[in-house]
Amino acid sequence: MINKDEIKLLIAENQREVQNKSLIERPYIIEDALNYVFVGLRRAGKSYLMYQQIQKLLRNGHSADEILYFNFEDDRLPSLALSDLDLLKTSYEEMYDCRPLFFLDEIQIVAGWEKFARRLADRGYRVFITGSNAKMLSSEIATTLGGRFAIKDVYPFSFPEFLKAQGIDMSDKNAAYKFHSEITKNYEVYFRFGGLPELTKIATKREWLSNLYQKVFFGDLVSRYQIRNDYALRVLVRKLAESVKQPSSFSRLANVVSAAGKKVSTDTTIDYLGYLKESWIIFAVENYCAKLADKESNKKYYFVDNGLLNLFLFDSNTSLLENQVAIRLRQAYGDELHFFQGRTEVDFYLPESKIAIQVAYSMQDIDTRQREMNGLVELSQSFEVKKCLIITKEEEETITKSGVEIQVIPVRKWLLGDMP
């Protein structure tokens, strides 16, 4: 059990600490009138986005006394029950006369937390919540919160944010020239190890990523969903990593996993894919021109961070490049992101924005060059396309084929520019 005095000490301590956190300012828009749930992969920076919002409120005239920040993963806390959340509120009210702004970090640890959050929102309090756990995105939680909270997806650092964490500010219009060698060097790290914020300061990056994956695997997957066949789940993750550029059907994935020695049904495979998505390991992209059944059953799967994907790959260059483009497009365009598969294939298609994108590590091979161009031309003949891109590792040119202009652009330049 926890008592009020212990809670009061933690509230006061947290008020001091969050004001002085050193931050990389992230370009997330937070509206004044909304309550938020920040969700994403473990260590993606959800708590720091919360600190950023606290510091913004303080700069805009709010008092530090108004801030009720509480981290439910604090190792000094015992296991908390729903009734303890009310104790948190009453303890604060005994300390201050202010109406608090609630910042509840990793609150999903407390069973029934959503009832407390909804009650606060119903009474007009501003509430910010973070959580890594898959349950934060489940349909029943969204129903319980009753539309009173906006869900904000938090991704690992973009490349400009990654550079900023290394002391390279790309807001300087001459930065690309002044810091060319540093940008090139940092990109190779970002390409292979991803953009999780803590990783920018860690030397043993692969070891850190491996440890993080184990925590997600056993904590957010095996334990949360009570998975008994964790071997089959491990095989599924490896297969998704190996086939990250190709569409994969439910039945094919089930057959591959079963052939590895642990038989699983198609239904179980579908469940496992859902768990992996909800735990922020992967996301799915549908074929824009497929029939409904095929849209659902034959998708492309990408990893939320290149560093996690690279744990499972040997010959990784082409897969990492396409995965990195997929992450950036998903972050910028959300569910608008599709692929196109007709007689030919286009890696990414944004139907509302009318943008088509191919990804090719190099365009030097004649067959590769023709394949990538032909896909864009076919798509342009079937649907309205205003912009066609081929994103490469290093190459840049402009091509015109069958009346379609295609811009070939290096991935670093594309990541540092404005979308698309």
Q: Clarify whether residues 223 and 146 are in a common domain.
A: no
Task: Give domain status of residue 373, yes or no.
Answer: yes
Q: Which two tokens stand for residue 332?
A: 């910028």
State residue 420's pLDDT score: 63
- Which of 285, 314, 343 terminates a domain? The answer is 314
Q: What is the CATH number of the domain that holds 37?
A: 3.40.50.300
Q: Tell me, yes or no, whether 39 lies in a domain.
A: yes
Q: Does a structural domain hold residue 301? A: yes
Domain boundary among 154, 173, 192: 154
Is residue 225 domain-resident? yes
Per-residue model confidence (pLDDT) at position 235: 97
Please tell me whether residues 372 and 404 are part of one structural domain: yes
Question: Do residue 97 and residue 216 come from a single domain?
Answer: no
Low-confidence ranges of the chain (pLDDT < 70): 132-142, 419-420
Classify residue 173: in a domain, yes or no: no
Residues 8 and 147 placed together within one structural domain of the fold: yes
Residue 148 lies in a domain: yes
pLDDT of 174 reads 86
Q: Is the domain of 354 the same as that of 213?
A: no
pLDDT, residue 142, reads: 67
9 and 145 both lie in a single domain: yes
Same domain, 37 and 102: yes
pLDDT at 182: 96
- On whether both 303 and 335 belong to a single domain, the answer is no
The answer to the question of residue 326 being in a domain is no
Q: Which of 79, 73, 70 is nearest to 17 (CA)?
A: 70
Range of the domain at 298: 204-314
Residue 210's CATH number: 1.10.10.10
User: How many domains are contained in the chain?
Assistant: 3
Same domain, 40 and 125: yes
Query: Based on the domain organization, do 227 and 290 belong to the same domain?
Result: yes
Give the CA radius of gyration of the chain.
23
Please state whether beta strands 298-303 and 282-287 pair in parallel, antiparallel, or not at all (unpaired): antiparallel
